[in-house]
A and B are shown apart, each in its own frame.
Chain A
Amino acid sequence: DAGVIQSPRHEVTEMGQEVTLRCKPISGHNSLFWYRQTMMRGLELLIYFNNNVPIDDSGMPEDRFSAKMPNASFSTLKIQPSEPRDSAVYFCASRKQNTEAFFGQGTRLTVV
Chain B
Amino acid sequence: SQQGEEDPQALSIQEGENATMNCSYKTSINNLQWYRQNSGRGLVHLILIRSNEREKHSGRLRVTLDTSKKSSSLLITASRAADTASYFCAPSLYNFNKFYFGSGTKLNVKP
Chain B residues with a Cβ under 8 A of chain A? 30-31, 33, 35, 41-45, 48, 50, 88, 90, 92, 97-104
Q: Tell whether A105 pairs with B42 under 8 Å between CB atoms, given A42-B101, A98-B50.
A: yes
Query: Which of chain A's residues have a CB closer than 8 A to the CB of B102?
Result: 42
Contact B42 A101 (CB under 8 A): no
Docked CA distance A66–B70 (Å): 34
Q: Per-residue 0/1 for A72-104: is the Cβ within 8 Å of any B Cβ (1 yes, 0 no)? A: 000000000000000000010101011111111
Instruction: Please list 29 pairs of residues, one from A and one from B, whose beta carbons are closer than 8 Å in the complex, sorted by A's number.
Output: A31-B98, A33-B98, A35-B101, A42-B101, A43-B101, A45-B101, A48-B97, A50-B97, A55-B98, A56-B98, A91-B42, A91-B43, A93-B43, A95-B97, A97-B97, A98-B31, A98-B50, A98-B92, A99-B48, A100-B33, A100-B45, A100-B48, A101-B33, A101-B45, A101-B90, A101-B99, A103-B42, A103-B43, A106-B42
Question: Which B residues are in CB contact (< 8 Å) with A42?
Answer: 101-104
B60 smallest CB distance to A (angstroms) = 19
| Residues in A lying within 8 Å of B, measured CB to CB | 31, 33, 35, 42-43, 45, 48, 50, 55-56, 91, 93, 95, 97-106
Q: Which residues of A contact B48 (CB under 8 A)?
A: 99-100
In the bound complex, residues from chain A placing their C-beta under 8 Å from that of B33 are: 100-101
**C-alpha spacing A54/B42, complex, angstroms:** 24
**Residue on A with the closest CB to B42?**
A105
B103 engages A102 (CB within 8 Å): no
Task: Tell me the bound Cα distance from A33 to B99 in angstroms.
Answer: 9
Cα A31 to Cα B92 in complex, Å, equals 13
* Residues of chain A within 8 A of B44, CB atoms compared: 103
CB of B67, distance to nearest CB on chain A (Å)? 15
| Given A42-B104, A98-B31, A98-B50, A48 and B98 contact (CB-CB distance below 8 Å) | yes
